[in-house]
């Protein structure tokens, strides 16, 4: 009689091994840092915070924490993941040294934040040039999505308060550059706010937009080629006036709340004015229509050139209708200052703002699920660390991956690429990482590294 051993092979486990590198696939992120010059830019930006005779460079410390977060870490101590692999990540500071740097940067306030953000903006311009046709502004236009996100707190932290969803935590505003259907997106702003901050606070939207525009190449910081998209939280007079200010001339596509005035205007739209809406593939969607109502309500108090476009559609099964919906059809409305274009195309462009929710989901999986520090100034530095990590997770696929792999979210990149182990082989003065041929994505990793190696070195 054959003895049953279970569903899986039985192996014996012991320590003391050597020559194997865990998380070896993260060499893709390390090589991205090197090729885009992020390490030198951050080091230069934080040079004034380096103490005399200090062993570790502040820029390297901050980047190490960002790399740990990109690999799935959610607190400062997770930098120990890098410390265990000096052949791949070099010398890594101790936990007390990391904590002291975060405290020092937090104490510096806006000065430290400005230094980190200026370095990111400088490198971003270089990355988009390297990306060429794969860059988010390859066609001369760029889209920035602004949205709020609730970050729960499970302990007393500065500025953690009750939120509008009856939870407890913070309510930051974030902004992402949309890479389009072929890619993902990259963060360009993160404004930390108390949990009770309003969703439609115009001053906060303006501050977030200013941070986002400062991250773009200079040619894209003003003009119609830059589109700002928000949900109805951005549909305020003050925010739209700021976007439309002469000399700034930004394009916008902003959701609007269906007020009683707008509802009455929708009732006056003639049946022949409704045209079929598009689905995600830009083909006509059954059961959905769009129309323009700019000439019906009084828009004299709103910016000149603003257009109102409304959509009605049959609700999805199980969806609840609102009092402002019409004849069993769900109504949504948005404002834009884009001239011309098909109404269905403009409405589809606005609806693609939903990709920002994908970027927020990726951010939650990359350190934003919880703010690990106590003080607001410390957690604002943490948001910049998250932004650095998300930058790398966006830039590496844009420069090194092709096809659908460019759209992989952080969790999939970690599982399939970064988690791969490899054998470390030293030959002469060179170090080689040899990935097993049995790993399903070994070819993907090696081809991506080859593409990164073909890029010119910074400077």
The confidence band for 324, taking pLDDT boundaries of 50, 70 and 90, is: low
Q: Where are the alpha helices (DSSP H) in 71-174?
A: 80-83, 86-89, 95-108, 110-131
How far is C-alpha 191 from the chain's CA centre? Answer: 13
Residues 352-410: tens digit of each pLDDT: 999 999 999 999 999 999 999 999 999 999 999 999 999 999 999 999 999 999 999 99
What does the alpha-carbon distance between residue 135 and residue 183 come to, in Å, rounded to a whole number? 9
Q: What is the DSSP string of 374-436?
A: SSHHHHHHHHHHHHHHHHHHHHHHHHH--GGGGG--HHHHIIIIIT--EEEEEETTEEEEEE-
Long-range contacts of 158-164 (CB under 8 A, 24+ apart): 158/374, 158/375, 158/376, 158/379, 159/192, 159/193, 159/194, 159/195, 159/376, 160/194, 160/195, 161/194, 161/195, 161/196, 162/195, 162/196, 163/195, 163/196, 164/196, 164/199
> Any idea which residue has 């390490």 for tokens?
39
Using CA atoms of 323, 324, 329, 333 in order, give the dihedral in degrees to the nearest 10: -150
- Tell me if 236 sits within 8 A of 256, measured CB to CB: no
- Locate the DSSP E strands across 171-212: 173-178, 185-191
Tokens standing for residue 231:
């949900």
What does the alpha-carbon distance between residue 44 and residue 39 come to, in Å, rounded to a whole number? 9
- Tell me if 15 sits within 8 A of 408, measured CB to CB: no
What does the alpha-carbon distance between residue 7 and residue 30 come to, in Å, rounded to a whole number? 38
pLDDT at 262: 84
The confidence band for 7, taking pLDDT boundaries of 50, 70 and 90, is: confident
Q: Where are the alpha helices (DSSP H) in 167-216?
A: 202-215
| 185: nearest Cα among 402, 37, 390 | 390
- What's the mean pLDDT when you consider all of the chain? 91
CA distances from 138 to 33, 143, 146, 345, 458 (A): 22, 12, 21, 20, 21
- Tell me if 206 sits within 8 A of 242, measured CB to CB: yes
pLDDT surpasses 90 at 10:
no
Tokens standing for residue 242:
């700021």
What does the alpha-carbon distance between residue 389 and residue 102 come to, in Å, rounded to a whole number? 16
pLDDT at 340: 86
Tokens standing for residue 118:
């200026």
- Tell me if 33 sits within 8 A of 63, measured CB to CB: yes
Residues 212-237: tens digit of each pLDDT: 999 999 999 999 999 999 999 999 99
> At residue 340, what are phi and psi to the nearest 5 degrees?
70, -170
pLDDT at 21: 87
Q: Where are the domains of the chain?
A: 20-109+372-454
pLDDT surpasses 80 at 208:
yes
What does the alpha-carbon distance between residue 384 and residue 117 come to, in Å, rounded to a whole number? 8
Residues 163-207: tens digit of each pLDDT: 999 999 999 999 999 998 888 999 999 999 999 999 989 999 999
Q: What is the mean pLDDT of residues 334-362?
A: 92
- Residues 188, 191, 197, 198, CA torsion sign: negative
Residues 263-317: tens digit of each pLDDT: 888 888 888 889 999 988 888 888 889 999 887 778 888 999 899 999 988 877 7
Residues 403-431: tens digit of each pLDDT: 999 999 999 999 999 999 999 888 878 88
pLDDT surpasses 60 at 1:
no
pLDDT at 323: 57
- Tell me if 359 sits within 8 A of 187, measured CB to CB: yes
- Tell me if 230 sits within 8 A of 353, measured CB to CB: yes
Burial code of 398-420, b = ≥16 C-beta within 10 A, e = fewer?
bbbbeeebbbbebeebbebbbbb
């Amino acid at each position: 009689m054959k003895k049953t051993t279970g569903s899986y092979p039985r192996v014996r486990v012991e320590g003391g091994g050597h020559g194997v590198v865990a998380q070896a696939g993260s060499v893709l992120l390390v090589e991205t840092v090197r090729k885009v010059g992020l390490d030198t830019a951050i080091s230069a930006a934080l040079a004034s915070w380096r103490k005399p005779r200090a062993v570790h460079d502040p820029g390297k410390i901050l980047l190490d924490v960002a790399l740990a977060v990109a690999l799935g870490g959610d607190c400062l101590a997770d930098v120990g993941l890098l410390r265990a692999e000096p052949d791949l990540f070099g010398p890594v500071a101790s936990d007390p040294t990391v904590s002291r740097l975060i405290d020092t940067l937090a104490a510096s306030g806006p000065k430290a934040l400005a230094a980190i953000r200026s370095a990111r903006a400088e490198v971003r311009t270089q990355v988009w040039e390297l990306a060429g046709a794969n860059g988010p502004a390859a066609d001369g236009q760029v889209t920035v999505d602004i949205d709020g996100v609730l970050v729960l707190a499970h302990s007393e932290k500065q500025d953690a308060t009750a939120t509008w969803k009856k939870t407890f935590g913070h309510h930051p505003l974030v902004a992402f550059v949309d890479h389009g259907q072929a890619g993902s997106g990259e963060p360009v702003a993160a404004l930390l706010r108390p949990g009770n901050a309003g969703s439609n606070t115009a001053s906060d939207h303006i501050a977030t937009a200013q941070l986002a525009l400062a991250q773009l190449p200079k040619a894209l910081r003003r003009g119609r080629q830059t589109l700002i998209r928000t949900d109805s939280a951005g549909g305020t007079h003050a925010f739209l006036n700021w976007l439309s200010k002469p000399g700034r001339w930004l394009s916008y596509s902003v959701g609007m709340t269906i007020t009683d005035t707008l509802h009455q205007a929708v009732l006056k739209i003639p049946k022949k004015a409704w045209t079929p809406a598009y689905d995600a593939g830009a083909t006509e969607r059954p059961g959905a229509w769009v129309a323009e109502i700019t000439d019906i309500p009084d828009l004299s108090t709103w910016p000149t050139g603003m257009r109102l476009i409304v959509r009605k559609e049959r609700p999805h099964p199980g969806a609840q209708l609102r009092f402002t919906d019409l004849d069993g059809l769900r109504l949504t409305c948005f404002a834009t200052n884009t001239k011309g274009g098909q109404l269905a195309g403009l409405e589809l462009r606005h609806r693609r703002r939903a990709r920002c929710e994908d970027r927020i989901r990726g951010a939650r999986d990359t350190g934003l699920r919880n703010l690990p520090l106590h003080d607001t100034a410390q957690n604002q530095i943490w948001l910049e660390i998250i932004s650095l990590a998300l930058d790398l997770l966006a830039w590496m696929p844009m420069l090194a991956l092709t096809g659908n792999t460019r759209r992989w979210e952080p969790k999939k990149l970690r599982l399939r690429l970064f988690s791969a182990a490899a054998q470390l082989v030293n030959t002469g003065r060179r170090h080689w990482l040899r990935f097993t041929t049995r790993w399903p994505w070994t070819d993907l990793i090696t081809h991506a590294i080859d593409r990164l190696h073909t890029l010119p070195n910074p400077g």
